């Protein structure tokens, strides 16, 4: 029987399958439901400095190879999110499932402010979504695009959260993701989450216009997996911190590939759309079956074999 227990920083997960941010993590009730469905850890939806409604519908569309979404970072704001996280942690602790919070902001200083509020709720890990635009930058360049801005946000958040570990979430559409990961780690990141969605567009040919109200959205699902694997691989060769490999994982075999590329844990998001909430536990079971079939007794034996 293969052992799926996963050591991630100071946390022990019953399996390496993590609910990704942005999928279902909007309330304590839903996070508990996902935990009971078999997730090893759960990530709440990203929150920012103030409540945000997001983009008008349509904000998501299913296409031939996955999903395209432009939700627009809808969230209740950090203060309300912190209250939800307190309740969520209380519900998750008896289940032995760690809680990961997720934050975003428009400036480096705002990242520190949001991190401070969320840290008071005592999540087990704070994921720092730096793929959003830097509104203080003349061109709105995402923080994840440059080593300097990635490091600046990391350092600010690290100073704000005290003893709570942080994982910096990187974007795939950059020239050298390994260098950006290294800059974040040097600035204090305890872990890396890779990757966020890839910008794309779907056009309604009959209507002659983009389907999403925002025109452009983030590609997720199977189409993203080869990009995510390449990014995790490059990050694993550049830094020596745990990685939550996220992007296109739909089956246990996909999860095995992500671990082989160097991931420590595996984020699952769009699979919930296609397979339901049970996807988290099912993917863990499929991973265990794959490991048994191929002779891997532990995750450590599987991890990084493709490096």
Which residues are part of the catalytic machinery? Answer: 132
| Contact between residue 112 and residue 159 where contact means Cβ atoms under 8 Å apart | yes
Residues in contact with 109: Cβ distance below 8 Å, sequence separation at least 6, in sequence order? 156
Question: 268-271: long-range contacts at Cβ-Cβ below 8 A with a sequence spacing of 24 or more?
Answer: 268/17, 268/18, 268/19, 268/20, 268/23, 268/39, 269/19, 269/20, 269/21, 269/22, 269/23, 269/220, 270/23, 270/66, 270/67, 270/220, 270/221, 271/221
CB 218 within 8 A of CB 212: no
Q: Which residues contact 201 (CB under 8 A, 6 or more apart)?
A: 68, 210, 212, 215, 216, 217
Q: Do the beta carbons of residue 223 and residue 248 sit within 8 Å?
A: yes
Query: Which structure tokens are listed for 250?
Result: 């739909």
Find out whether 228 and 195 touch, Cβ atoms under 8 Å: yes
Q: Is 205 exposed, middle or buried (0-12, 13-18, 19+ CB in 10 A)?
A: exposed
Residue 267: burial class (beta carbons within 10 Å; 0-12, 13-18, 19+): buried
> Which secondary structure element, helix H or strand E, spans residue 180, and what is its range?
helix 177-186
Q: H/E element holding 148?
A: helix 147-161
């Amino acid at each position: 029987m293969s052992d799926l227990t996963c050591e991630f920083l100071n946390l022990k997960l019953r399996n390496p399958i993590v609910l990704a941010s942005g999928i279902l993590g909007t309330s304590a009730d839903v996070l508990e439901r996902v935990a009971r469905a078999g997730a090893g850890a759960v990530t709440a939806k990203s929150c920012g400095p103030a409540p945000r409604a997001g983009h008008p519908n349509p904000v998501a569309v299913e296409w031939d190879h996955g999903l395209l979404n432009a939700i627009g970072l809808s969230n209740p704001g950090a203060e309300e999110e912190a209250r939800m996280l307190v309740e969520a942690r209380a519900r998750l602790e008896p289940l032995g499932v760690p809680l990961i919070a997720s934050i975003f902001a428009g400036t480096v200083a705002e990242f520190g402010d949001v991190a401070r509020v969320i840290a008071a709720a005592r999540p087990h890990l704070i994921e720092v979504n730096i793929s959003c635009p830097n509104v203080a930058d003349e061109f709105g360049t995402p923080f994840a695009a440059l080593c300097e801005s990635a490091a600046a946000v990391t350092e600010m958040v690290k100073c704000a959260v005290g003893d709570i570990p942080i994982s910096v979430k990187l974007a795939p559409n950059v020239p050298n993701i390994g260098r950006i990961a290294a800059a974040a780690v040097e600035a204090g990141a305890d872990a890396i989450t890779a990757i966020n969605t890839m910008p794309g567009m779907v056009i309604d040919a009959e209507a002659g216009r983009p389907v999403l109200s925002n025109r452009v959205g983030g590609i997720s699902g199977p189409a993203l997996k080869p990009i995510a694997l390449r990014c995790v691989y490059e990050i694993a060769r550049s830094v020596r911190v745990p990685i939550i490999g996220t992007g296109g994982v739909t089956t246990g075999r996909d999860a095995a590939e992500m671990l082989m590329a160097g991931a420590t844990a595996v984020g699952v998001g769009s699979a919930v759309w296609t397979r339901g909430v049970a996807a988290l536990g099912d993917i863990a079971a499929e991973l265990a079956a794959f490991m048994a079939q191929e002779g891997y007794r532990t995750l450590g034996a599987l991890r990084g074999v493709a490096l």
